Structure 1
Amino acid sequence: MYTAELIKGKTYSVMGHVFLLNQEKEIEKKVFQYLDGNEFFACKEVKAPVDDPKTDDQPKEDKEPVEEEEEPAQETKTYTESELKGMNKTEQEVIVIDLGGDPAQLKDKSERIAFILEHQQQQEKTGE
């Protein structure tokens, strides 16, 4: 298993991954090989999760509720069309990913904006 963390800049998109500053992300070997040595990233190969002291100390029952609590705590911001138009491609792609979409399937800025607006409306309907 490999991980990469963006340590310089705000966002970076490469090989279908969108990296945000100081957020470690699990990546494939080919992405690791591409980013390793790039001054904007801290890349590492993680041997086995068994070596993780957090995993060894806590039973599975303790971990699951923590993950469930974190998800609802994340407030989803509702973006307006004018806010989205003012954003760059990478910022829009991050929002698309957060909404469960694949930015690679959206051809241009107008499609990304339409996707975001539509999925925000769907989340508001199902969330209330």
Structure 2
Amino acid sequence: MYTAELIKGKTYSVMGHVFLLNQVKDIEKKVFQYLDGNEFFDCTEVKAPADDPKKDDQTKEKPLEDEKPKEAEEEPQQEQKIYTESELKGMNKTEQEAIVIDLGGDPSQLKDKSERITFILEHQEKAGE
């Protein structure tokens, strides 16, 4: 939650808000970002009271809960992807080299497209075993 107070001038209108001198108004984050640093305003970010344990616990737990499933979902998707020869032939050099690196290879050691494709097909089979 954010607040802004007009400290210079009589009135100021911005983004649908009309401010009067010395009047504190609740504002949205985008309005706060716009007004913060403006010499005519005193802008503050209002934090939740420290003695409200419910809000503090929710704030601390949510990011951790959100992060763990994402990490768990992303890694298996990368490991499970098995490329077919036709998929690899349709890729450009940069995409193929990225896959070679992911499989632990050095693309500079592979001379051409066919060697990159062969390397990927062989090494993804070994990784799957």
Q: TM-score, normalised by structure 2?
A: 0.41
State the structure with more CA Rg.
Answer: 2
Q: TM-score, normalised by structure 1?
A: 0.41
Bigger relative contact order, structure 1 or 2 (CA pairs below 8 A, ≥6 apart): 1
